[in-house]
Amino acid sequence: MSDSQSGQSSKPLFDAAPFLADQVPATGDRRKGGDRRADAPEGSGFERRRGPGRRLSDFARAAEQGELTKEQFMFLMAIEAFKRANGVTFPAWTDVVEVIRLLGYRKTCNAEISLPAAEDWLELPSAPSNVRPERWHLRKAS
C-alpha cells in the first residue's frame, strides 16, 4: 500500500531547515569527534587541566581533600556569616568581593594572570575597604 493510498504523505508536517540555515552553532558539533579543548585560548593563568605529570598545588590539593588552610577556612566562615546575616543562600559576586575586602585583602601586587579586558592596579595595604556606606559606624548593632 502506498503513502497516497493510506492517506499519509512522506512530506514532513514542518520543515525547520530554512529557519536553521542562517544560524551559526554556539559551539562545535560534539558528534564530529574534535577536541574542543584544543581550540581554547591559552595563557590566562586559570588553566586547571592536569595532564600527565602535572600535579595540584598543595593549596588546591588540601582543599579538595577537606583539609582547609587557615585562609580558606576563614574565608568560608566569613561567607557563611554573610549569608546568615543577610538571609541569602547564594551571594552575588559583589557580595563576595565585599567579604574579601572586609577580611583585609587589598590589591597590593601585580596580577599573576592575564586579563586583557581588565586594567590592573595596585593599592596601599592600609587602604580602606570602601564597601560600607559613609555612616555605617553610626548604625545600631542589632
pLDDT per position as a tens digit, 44-90? 666 666 566 567 777 787 777 788 889 989 999 999 999 999 999 99
Q: How far apart are CA 41 and CA 49, in angstroms?
A: 13
Distance from C-alpha of 18 to C-alpha of 125, rounded to nearest angstrom: 60
* Structural domain boundaries in the chain: 58-110+118-134
Helix (H, G, I), strand (E, B) or coil at 60: helix
31-35, 70-74, 96-100, 127-131: segment of lowest average pLDDT: 31-35
Pick the residue with more confidence: 3 or 66? 66
* Helix spans in the chain (H): 3-6, 17-20, 58-64, 70-86, 93-102
pLDDT of 127 > 70? The answer is yes
Q: Of 14-18, 44-48, 81-85, 113-117, which one has max mean pLDDT?
A: 81-85
Q: Are 86 and 142 in contact (CB under 8 A)?
A: no
d(CA 74, CA 107): 19
Report how far residue 107's alpha carbon sits from residue 71's, in angstroms, rounded to the nearest whole number.
Answer: 16
